[in-house]
Amino acid sequence: MITVTERENPVDMVELVETERLFLNPLETSDWRIRRVVRDKIIACSQSLPDGLCLMVFEAFRSRARQWELWKPVFASIQTDHPDWPRDQVYAEASRWVAPPDGFGSGHQAGAAVDLKLARADRTELDFGGAMKGLSGVAPTAWPVSAEIRKNRDMLVQAMQATGMVNYPDEWWHFSYGDQLWAEVTGRNRAFFAPIE
């Protein structure tokens, strides 16, 4: 079980702001708060990208109420599609697509996760295959995709990993640092950041 190191869990939230190499896309949110250390890693990643490429952020901090809004329809859809499944199996499948808001919650609730992709300097998005937040087979980062899409996914993952952030394997767009997912992926038994609310 992963626990949180309280002494390393100050709520030090800052606003993400656009730069020449970092864009904010308001498709999902207008709340751009995130942990300072995560913001610094995102900025460092954007500055390390090859000329002409930028990061486009779609979501950072997410309140528990917003997490419930995302969770409920996914859970209901899976339950409808699989009426014979027991509740715990529906819960486990729904958890692949949206972090359950109860308990430890998502890295977004901790201000430690970000959803993003690569874009060109003119704000056109690179092709990553499938819709961001799409509940489909192509969402997993390692899913078989075309050579161009694989190149884009690998470039994004490598650039983010170089700053110490980790990718959620079921979502090519989701990266975090210091949260429960990060602790699991890096083999730690302690996360730095717990949900804020």
User: Is pLDDT larger for residue 45 or for residue 194?
Assistant: 45
Is residue 15 scored above 70 in pLDDT?
yes
Answer whether 0.75 is exceeded by the pTM: yes
Average pLDDT of the residues in 62-79: 90
Distance of CA 144 to the CA centre of its chain: 20
Per the CB < 8 A criterion, the answer to whether 90 and 78 are in contact is yes
Q: What is the pLDDT of residues 160-174, one digit of tens each?
A: 999 999 999 989 999
Q: What is the pLDDT of residues 174-192, one digit of tens each?
A: 999 999 889 999 999 888 8
**Please, how many CA atoms are within 13 Å of residue 107, restricted to the half-sphere of its CB?**
26
Packing angle, helices 147-161 and 36-48, rounded to 10: 130
What are the residue boundaries of the structural domains of the chain, listed by start? 3-61+108-191, 63-105
Tokens standing for residue 67: 């997490």
What's domain 3-61+108-191's architecture?
A: 2-Layer Sandwich (3.30)
- Position 137 scores a pLDDT of 75
